[in-house]
Structure 1
Amino acid sequence: MAVSAALRAAITRAQNADQHSEPVFSPLRGLGRGRLTPIDLLGQSLSTIAPATGMVFIALWMITYSPGYVGLAAIAATTSAVFLVAFCITQFTRRLAAAGSLYSFVFQGSGIRATLTAGAALVLGYLGISVSVFSQAVPSLLDTIAIVGPDVRGTAATVITTVAIALAVAWIAVRGVRFATRAILVVEACSLILIVVVMLATHSDTTTAVALPNPSLSAVPFLAMLTVLSMAGFESSAFFGPEAKRPLISVTRTVLISPIICGVLFVFAAWAAMTGHGATIVGAYFEGTASGASAEVVLAVKIGMTCSWFASTLGCAQAGSRLLYSMGIERVLPAPLARVHRRFRTPYVAVLAFVAVSAAGVFIYSDTVRDDSGSFDGVVETALVCAYTLVAFASWKFLRRIGEHTSLTRICTLSVSTAGAGLLVYIVLDGAVHGMWALPIAALAVAVSGTVWSSLLRRARPESLLMVGAFDSVETADLLPGAGTLLIDGDGRRRLVPDRGTAEGDSPEHGR
């Protein structure tokens, strides 16, 4: 009887509900909500990281400078530190979904200037990663073509290949995120299987003849920084919270799992290099058949690495476009960046803008930066470490504000914040000592970016400062009929109120 009465009351509320009130929408409703599965999110994170390429470069530096078990321990320790950063990020992902990822999360714990600083750091970091992997994809593809066909390497071929890759990345990213994430997950999985099999199946005591610049840091700190750079983008699944199914659960799990998977693969690559199992694949990629590897092995490695570089370029474009889209929604960047494709529900303007800047960056990188890639990588690392430090500190302030701190969260958030700040100081001082002035300049530019940006917005578009921190929220269509009416208060907060047609017998006062 009680169930029947409750059912009748629910039907009555649904019938009497006010259907003419103005609907309330999520600020991120333009994106295709609730489409991505945990597998899609994992594909996005792994594609951005491109662990296959990280494994080869870690093996290369392990073979070249032979840091031994100390280097192996440094890689494992760095992986643990990245996992702690992931733990700090999940304090936000388990509570809200935002297309701006770390940028939007910082707002929940810190002020607008810190938020804009994090946004500037993320834009610089993701563009830097994109330019770096994009610039590797071009010669890798040309080398692969030269193995199976005519040697078309040259300036004209480089330009044509760069444009072709940019168009392919833009088309796939606009076409749909599910299509892209699943395709690149398969590609990256095949590349990883290939590299692991080759490492396990081959053994050589010879060292590589690749000419490498001397790193500004000693071998062990350099390996730690290389590991951080190789794991950059592990949190990229957080950009897709509004588009994920059960985002508070699936995004959180992906953010935690991604650094663990990559850390295991990187430690394995370091072990393979120490025991002679990494020389063959390093030689095959960097020296071709001159290393003694067979033409078949060289071709397989080139194809695998090229696919991994392409997947990483695509992953960066997808994540970076969501960041620009979120900023366009808030009007801290031009509003056209918030335009969404009517059919595919993807931020096509933001995708095209990000890919275009990345392609332009590739031409600049190839002409002026490639010979000083250490400084370029250092600038990208500085931006990423700044963003991770800000989100860790913001998570400490956020949990304290909502009263949900535990001993574990206090230790982790404060430890990561302190370690990140110390690492930034170390990077700046080391860059100054070794004459790499791009690092302290980049650190200073990121540090003042939030203040400068907020001042410009306060003069040009002050209303945009009230929109910072947009995240996916409940809208009218998400409510069951009769559950209430969603309204927006004068301060912009959503509030659920009883329907005006609620039966008197169902009012809170009934039965008192």
Structure 2
Amino acid sequence: MKALQDAVARPPQVGGFADTSPLHGLARRSLGPTDALAQSVAAAAPTAAAVTMPMLVAEAAGRGAGSAIVAAALLVLLVGYTIGQFARRMGAAGPLYSYAARAFGGSGMLGPAAALATGFSLLLGYACVAMFALAGSALYLADVLAYFGLGPLPGWAAAGVVVVLGACCLWLLLRGIGLSARALLLTESAAVLVLLAALAVVLTQLPAADVVRAGPDAGNQGLGGIASGAVLALSAFVGFESATVLGVETRRPLRTIPRVIAWSAAGTSVLSLLATQLQLAAGITADTAPSGRAWDPVLRTAGVPGLIPALDLGAALSFAACSLACMTALARVLLTMGREGVVPAWFGRAHPRFLTPFNAVLATVPPVTLVPAVLLAAGTGTWGPMNRIIGTAATAYVAAFLLTCIAAPVFLRRIGELTFWPGAAAVTAALALAAALVAYRVVLAGQGRHAGGWIYLVLVGGSVAWCLWRRRRGAAPADLGLYDVPTREAVLGGPAAPGGSGR
């Protein structure tokens, strides 16, 4: 016992630890598992997804909407398992980008190109989903008011709601991750409780035989339609991985983050599948319900129309939480890129008091807020333009997931830890994502809907080309993919050097 006390009081000095983390300035190890789970669940926005996404999928897949969502759910579980292989080995603030960079970084020019494409795809995906969520929150809040006879909100009023929501997100993100994590937890918890109540009531009111018979159907759109619907359905699940952006700020991240990814992927999949099943059981299709309003006829069919404003309010809260979660992730990816010199170093600066990615937040939240606000104010911010935004997000997210799944076996082989099941899961997920993405873009091209693809290619392709050009000129660093490392003050016998800080 005395020997142990002496060892604690006068530990032997150890070396090999940095004075500061490459991602210093963030509130390291300040969040618990519940906070990380709130981030992933809020970004996936199960309540908002349940009331909007099935009908968007049905527009692409027809009667095969159920099959498309089942395929997307299975794919999400494979992708989550693959991402978990990285998350249990490294903590990062720009996770999928950092993961791809660690796998490909030293492979000539192709490696950095793949890593940068992953990073810029993430930025575009998070930004588009945040825009969609802000507009969705305003539109559903307007529906709540209209239900009580307050009339539809004019475009300028809906735009004002978006601006207020954006300002709240800005304040929370600037003031500290603890505050924004609590806001996410409270808001999304309320939204999920409303969804669960609505699902339970509808489940008890609809005939059990109808619910059982309303299974996946190959539909009339063919495999291309189902693949296209599956990609759209993925946008209902994306965000389940966003807890990985808190790899620096979460306690015991190598244990906590993989578990959060698994639980959020599974939980979101179950809720979305159940919501779709009940909509099919109620006989609701894309032809009988407008986008974003599918649950109105479902609740009327179940004989509980009084739940419509409650579910609309839950969807508004879920969308608001989703926008905050996506902005949280967006700012941390941008901070990582700023620290590496991929984008100007100004983006990589953290606030010395609040320990937040201050400059990245200031640079991203205003434009992400203004785009949907302008659309609503101009009278074009209906579900049509919102669907085009979410289509761009779907392309960006699937591309980021695809590159990450390709990177996983490469990374595991480089560190000597590649085994059969992680490799098989990554390859299977990569092949499925590639096939679904190609089918999705082909189907949209056949419908004359090229905008999302061109936006993705111009923004992501142009950004990657610019970074590679700077790299060839020696204006960008050779090493990409910063991740958190243990610091001297975090280990017994390794106190921080004078003036050093592990933050």
Q: TM-score, normalised by structure 2?
A: 0.83
Hey, what does 1:91 align to over in structure 2?
85
For residues 281 and 8 of structure 2, the distance between their equivalents in structure 1, rounded to whole angstroms, comes to 69
**Which of the residues 338, 352, 371 maps onto 1:361?**
371
Give the conservation status (yes or no) of the 8 Å contact 2:125–2:394. Answer: yes
Give the conservation status (yes or no) of the 8 Å contact 2:143–2:309. Answer: no
Percent identity of equivalent pairs? 28
Give the conservation status (yes or no) of the 8 Å contact 1:237–1:254. Answer: yes
Matched, 1:253 2:259: yes
Distance change in 2, residues 1:53/1:25 (3 Å): same
Give the conservation status (yes or no) of the 8 Å contact 2:18–2:486. Answer: no
1:301-322 Cα offsets, whole Å, 9 max, x none, are 2221111111111111111111
Distance change in 2, residues 1:218/1:373 (3 Å): farther
For residues 288 and 412 of structure 1, the distance between their equivalents in structure 2, rounded to whole angstroms, comes to 37
SS of 2:477's equivalent?
helix
Give the conservation status (yes or no) of the 8 Å contact 1:102–1:391. Answer: yes
Distance change in 2, residues 1:291/1:81 (3 Å): closer
Matched, 1:476 2:488: yes
Which deviates more from structure 2 when the two are superposed, residues 435-444 or residues 241-250? 435-444
Superposition deviation, residue 442 in structure 1? 4.2
Superposition deviation, residue 192 in structure 1? 2.2
**Which of the residues 425, 431, 435 maps onto 2:448?**
435
1:428-477 Cα offsets, whole Å, 9 max, x none, are 32233222222442454467446513334326762x42342111111121
Superposition deviation, residue 13 in structure 1? 5.7
1:113-169 Cα offsets, whole Å, 9 max, x none, are 211111111111111111111111122223334555844722331332222111111
Superposition deviation, residue 372 in structure 1? 4.7
Superposition deviation, residue 385 in structure 1? 0.8
Hey, what does 2:467 align to over in structure 1?
454
Which deviates more from structure 2 when the two are superposed, residues 419-428 or residues 242-251? 419-428
For residues 443 and 342 of structure 1, the distance between their equivalents in structure 2, rounded to whole angstroms, comes to 35
Correspondences of 1:71-110 after superposition (within 5 Å): 71-110=65-104
Hey, what does 1:301 align to over in structure 2?
311
For residues 153 and 410 of structure 1, the distance between their equivalents in structure 2, rounded to whole angstroms, comes to 52
**Aligned partner of 1:133: which letter?**
A
Hey, what does 1:340 align to over in structure 2?
350
Distance change in 2, residues 1:117/1:194 (3 Å): same
SS of 1:242's equivalent?
coil
Matched, 1:241 2:247: yes
Distance change in 2, residues 1:199/1:63 (3 Å): farther
Hey, what does 1:173 align to over in structure 2?
173
**Which of the residues 29, 32, 36 maps onto 2:27?**
32
Point out where structure 2 has 5 or more consecutive residues left out of the alignment: 105-110, 208-219, 499-503
Distance change in 2, residues 1:284/1:298 (3 Å): farther
SS of 1:342's equivalent?
coil
1:248-296 Cα offsets, whole Å, 9 max, x none, are 0000111111110011101111221122298999868668999998785
Give the conservation status (yes or no) of the 8 Å contact 1:60–1:273. Answer: no
Hey, what does 2:52 align to over in structure 1?
57
Hey, what does 2:130 align to over in structure 1?
130
Give the conservation status (yes or no) of the 8 Å contact 1:457–1:465. Answer: no
Distance change in 2, residues 1:356/1:293 (3 Å): farther
SS of 2:239's equivalent?
coil
Correspondences of 1:52-451 after superposition (within 5 Å): 52-60=47-55, 71-110=65-104, 111-147=111-147, 150-151=150-151, 153-202=153-202, 203=205, 220-276=226-282, 296-366=306-376, 367=378, 370=382, 371-442=384-455, 444-445=457-458, 448-449=461-462, 451=464
Give the conservation status (yes or no) of the 8 Å contact 1:396–1:409. Answer: yes
Hey, what does 1:46 align to over in structure 2?
41
Distance change in 2, residues 1:61/1:123 (3 Å): closer
Which deviates more from structure 2 when the two are superposed, residues 108-117 or residues 241-250? 108-117
Which deviates more from structure 2 when the two are superposed, residues 30-39 or residues 439-448? 439-448
Distance change in 2, residues 1:374/1:169 (3 Å): closer
Superposition deviation, residue 414 in structure 1? 1.4
For residues 276 and 302 of structure 2, the distance between their equivalents in structure 1, rounded to whole angstroms, comes to 21
**Aligned partner of 2:166: which letter?**
A
Tell me how many residue pairs correspond in the alignment.
472
For residues 3 and 309 of structure 2, the distance between their equivalents in structure 1, rounded to whole angstroms, comes to 71
Aligned Cα root-mean-square deviation (Å): 3.7
Give the conservation status (yes or no) of the 8 Å contact 2:488–2:495. Answer: no
For residues 89 and 140 of structure 2, the distance between their equivalents in structure 1, rounded to whole angstroms, comes to 41
For residues 268 and 193 of structure 1, the distance between their equivalents in structure 2, rounded to whole angstroms, comes to 15
SS of 1:243's equivalent?
coil
SS of 1:473's equivalent?
coil
For residues 308 and 269 of structure 1, the distance between their equivalents in structure 2, rounded to whole angstroms, comes to 15
Which deviates more from structure 2 when the two are superposed, residues 214-223 or residues 32-41? 214-223
Superposition deviation, residue 376 in structure 1? 3.2
SS of 2:248's equivalent?
helix
For residues 402 and 174 of structure 2, the distance between their equivalents in structure 1, rounded to whole angstroms, comes to 32
For residues 303 and 458 of structure 1, the distance between their equivalents in structure 2, rounded to whole angstroms, comes to 48
For residues 297 and 130 of structure 1, the distance between their equivalents in structure 2, rounded to whole angstroms, comes to 26
For residues 82 and 261 of structure 2, the distance between their equivalents in structure 1, rounded to whole angstroms, comes to 10
Distance change in 2, residues 1:459/1:299 (3 Å): same
For residues 6 and 204 of structure 1, the distance between their equivalents in structure 2, rounded to whole angstroms, comes to 65
For residues 66 and 430 of structure 1, the distance between their equivalents in structure 2, rounded to whole angstroms, comes to 10
Superposition deviation, residue 189 in structure 1? 2.4
Distance change in 2, residues 1:437/1:12 (3 Å): closer
For residues 332 and 360 of structure 2, the distance between their equivalents in structure 1, rounded to whole angstroms, comes to 7
For residues 417 and 57 of structure 2, the distance between their equivalents in structure 1, rounded to whole angstroms, comes to 43
Point out where structure 1 has 5 or more consecutive residues left out of the alignment: 206-213, 487-512
**Aligned partner of 1:338: which letter?**
G
Hey, what does 2:212 align to over in structure 1?
none
The structure with the largest alpha-carbon Rg is 1
Distance change in 2, residues 1:308/1:7 (3 Å): closer
**Aligned partner of 2:171: which letter?**
W
**Aligned partner of 1:254: which letter?**
V
Distance change in 2, residues 1:473/1:74 (3 Å): same
Hey, what does 2:107 align to over in structure 1?
none
Hey, what does 1:508 align to over in structure 2?
none
Distance change in 2, residues 1:255/1:285 (3 Å): same
Distance change in 2, residues 1:360/1:12 (3 Å): closer
